[in-house]
Structure 1
Amino acid sequence: MVYHASDNCTAGSKNLYTFYFSVMIVEFILALPLNLTVIYLFIFKLKFWKNKSNNIFLFNLVLADILLLICLPVRAYYFQRGERRSNNDVLCNSVLFMLFLNRGASIAFLTIISIDRFLSVVHPGIKNPFKIRKRSVLISVLVWVLLLPLTIPSMLSTFECCDTSSNSTENIPTEVFRELVFFTPVLIPFIILVYCAVRITNRLKQKTVGDRTKLKRAVFLVILVVLVFSFCFWPSAISRLVLLVVRVQELPRAEEIAVQVYDGLMCLSYLDCLLDPIVYCLSSTKFKNLYISTYLPFLMKAQHAEHH
């Protein structure tokens, strides 16, 4: 039997994984209050279920980030111990399931928000399904329902190390499906996001008269989503591809390094729970003003003072 570094559940470099632990703890400390303040506004101030349909998608994006935050302390704890996973398979698989679910939901709702803005500014004459509140609720429910079976492959097979980089030749169909589940939600939405960004930008260039403010805001929003997407999800996807390649080619030393890089870039991907609130603010001027007036009222006073 060939030894694979990605089957090893202990950290290759304890100092490096202690650093990863520190990164995740900082992400958790910064993101938890931020997301709690955001979810409070959506529920108690905006009453998202009665308001604009776009707020329904934004609220679901907050839920996805909360799921991620539940997992971070557990994952960080084992990294600090010099382990890549929990010895408890149920806990390990549950954390992995939640991480996959968060990743899929974040990507799905970021993409939906961008498509919604694209349809509004590029095809204003077409009836936008995302603008109908009841349909927005239905779409959100469908996203979560579809994500559940797609996330199950992360728990289907037992393997020595409870990490998606572990593969066993005995379960090749399951492993192939798992990799498709990992890569497809990055590649296809990214193509859609880039398409939306290009079309909205072209629309802005063509509009020489009239109000260009809405178009400029839409361009900025979609480009921001592409940047958040690229920064959070592409590095981990590329590092995973490299890991799979060196694993197949049976290069033990390279695989050991690739495993550590992959784990580190997965820590980087968790930054989406910090960057998503920027998307909320740019998606809705009302939300931005509400957040500032509720939590940072001195900024509102400073703005009023400047105007007067």
Structure 2
Amino acid sequence: MAEFKTEAPAEPTADSAGADIPISRKGKIWLMQSAGAALLIAGWAYFALPHFGSAQFFLDSLVFCVFGTYAFIAAYNARRETVTLEKKLRYSLIRRNMHLESMTTRDDLTHLFSRRHLFDRFERELQTAKASGRALSIVVIDLNGMEQINTSHGHEVGDRVLAAFGRFLADQARGSDVLARIDGDEFAVLMPDADERAAEAAVTRLLTALEKGQLFEEDDLSLKTTASIGKSGYPWEADSVDQIISSARDSMSAHKREQSALVAAAGGAPADADAG
């Protein structure tokens, strides 16, 4: 089963609060601490030294030691809390950016990749395949009967059918496959390092799995769907993304015509989805 997981950055901890403070900031902090220590020593010299050897000297020195210790502890804790807060804000910004990126790369309904991400990834994978001499395939799938489902059962049920098909694809895919919804009821599976034989095996696997079971079962509603599937790839069909996609869609259209011809020969209406 293909996984679609985005790892979030690890939560910042207080123990590592100062680990990534820029050197220039560390220098400023050190200067401020040094200045504070100098002022404390100067104050002690001004108030305590004139009474050297007396009880007043001991008392003033004790007061300055306690005050200095408290000041340094308070300054250290304040810096620690400030740096930790900055790290948490940075972490929140990273998470937000990841969420925004996910919104542009994922399809909200099926949680598969978006059309834009698929084509960006396709370009990169094709360049890699050409450079390494490996094959690359894509399978394009049109889920049949969605118009009838939307008309008969409503668009909410239609959306749940599409989401169910997204899960179905994830169950059938290899871990390295890139799954995407590229149009309303059109999906694609990008298969790195897969030749024509592997693409044909993937098509057969998908059609067999669809034929065996109900794609959507909820309450008293059960829907069985069919799909028209086409395949293409590099180098066995074309050598550019546009040509490969066009070839795969032509293959898908040919499969759809074959399905319609079989239904017509059997004397039935060209219905692609059955409800039970």
TM superposition score normalised by structure 1: 0.23
Q: Name the structure with the higher strand share.
A: 2
Which structure is higher in helix share? 1
Which of the pair has the greater relative contact order for Cα pairs under 8 Å at 6+ separation? 1
